[in-house]
DNA sequence: GAAGATTGACGTGTCAATCTTT
DNA sequence: AAAGATTGACACGTCAATCTTC
């Protein structure tokens, strides 16, 4: 993770947190999403996300938008610059994952590892849901 | 990791960083070691370790000791209380690892996973050594 | 009153500068 | 000058309190 993060910073000029934000926005239809939902998705406190979005908005990668129908809420939306920046960063990140992780495993190993770790993850999640 | 850390905190009253310190001291002969060596071992900056050791010394789990022969250096040494506290914490932590990780894998899966991840780790370390 | 987001106080880590000893 | 540890300034995260809207 340290290695991937350093490469992302060096070659795409993005901190990992910013990449996470761009990724999850990119996955939503319209490239937009509520603050709370986004905070949940990238595992960050709501207040933490507030300041991250402040910076990213200054950098022109996204914009806060009013939510039609609920004046409490705020939407975060990708800008064109944000989409371009994400595309470039994603290329860097995918190459990194391939090079530093996937390339060291056989196909069979990859599958086996995924299956095993999914079980571990699911068990942890289940326990988290009902503590 | 979040789960293990929460359990350690709740059942043994130790932050993960403190556990790491106790563990690595416990592994050294005499339960003592230099500050710099310890910082390297637990992957923490030297200055970060300074403050952690401050707190742990206040808590009575370890002591700073003069190093005979080099007045620049400082040794950190486990106290009796530190050893007791580590034993209790280690029991909690081992149980957690067993329960939340190992128990979800077959013996064969465990071995395969270890071999595969060791290769990934070694590759990352090699690249880190010569960037 | 509860949901949604923001603000302020604080904890923990890194980095650069400092001080002592070699 | 270089090794060893500490100090101070700062970045980034969490939690509790606040403010607005439902």
Tell me the pLDDT tens digit for each residue of B98-109.
Answer: 999 999 999 999
Contact flag, residue A58 CB and nucleic strand D, below 7 A: no
pLDDT score of A108: 92
Choose among B115, A47, B113, B101: nearest CA to A38.
A47
- Say whether B128 and A104 touch across the interface (CB within 8 A): no
Q: How far is A99 from chain B (nearest CA, A)?
A: 10
Task: For B44-84, write each residue's pLDDT tens digit.
Answer: 999 999 999 999 999 999 999 999 999 999 999 999 999 99
Nearest residue of A to residue B106 by CA position? A116
Q: Which two tokens stand for residue A131?
A: 């503590």
Please give the protein residue whose CA is closest to the C1' of the nucleotide C20: B72
Please give the protein residue whose CA is closest to the C1' of the nucleotide D20: A72
pLDDT score of A126: 85
Whole-number Å distance between alpha carbons of A62 and B115: 42
Residue partners of A123: CB distance under 8 A and separation at least 6 = B100, B104
| Through-space separation of residue B79 CA and nucleotide D17 C1' in angstroms | 41
pLDDT score of B131: 60
pLDDT score of A131 more than 70: no
pLDDT score of A79 more than 90: yes
- Say whether B100 and A123 touch across the interface (CB within 8 A): yes
Cα B59 to the center of its chain, rounded Å: 17
**Shortest CA–C1' contact from B76: which nucleotide?**
D5
pLDDT score of A6: 94
């Amino acid at each position: 993770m340290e290695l991937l993060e350093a490469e992302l910073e060096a070659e795409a000029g993005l901190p990992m947190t910013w990449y996470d934000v761009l990724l999850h926005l990119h996955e939503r239809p319209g490239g937009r999403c509520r603050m709370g939902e986004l905070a949940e998705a990238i595992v960050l406190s709501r207040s933490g996300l507030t300041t991250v979005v402040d910076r990213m908005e200054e950098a022109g990668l996204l914009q806060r938008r009013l939510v039609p129908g609920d004046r409490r809420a705020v939407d975060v939306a990708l800008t064109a610059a944000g989409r371009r920046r994400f595309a470039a960063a994603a290329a860097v990140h995918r190459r990194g994952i391939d090079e530093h992780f996937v390339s060291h495993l056989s196909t069979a190993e990859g599958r086996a590892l995924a299956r095993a770790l999914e079980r571990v993850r699911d068990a942890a999640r289940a326990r988290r849901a009902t503590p």
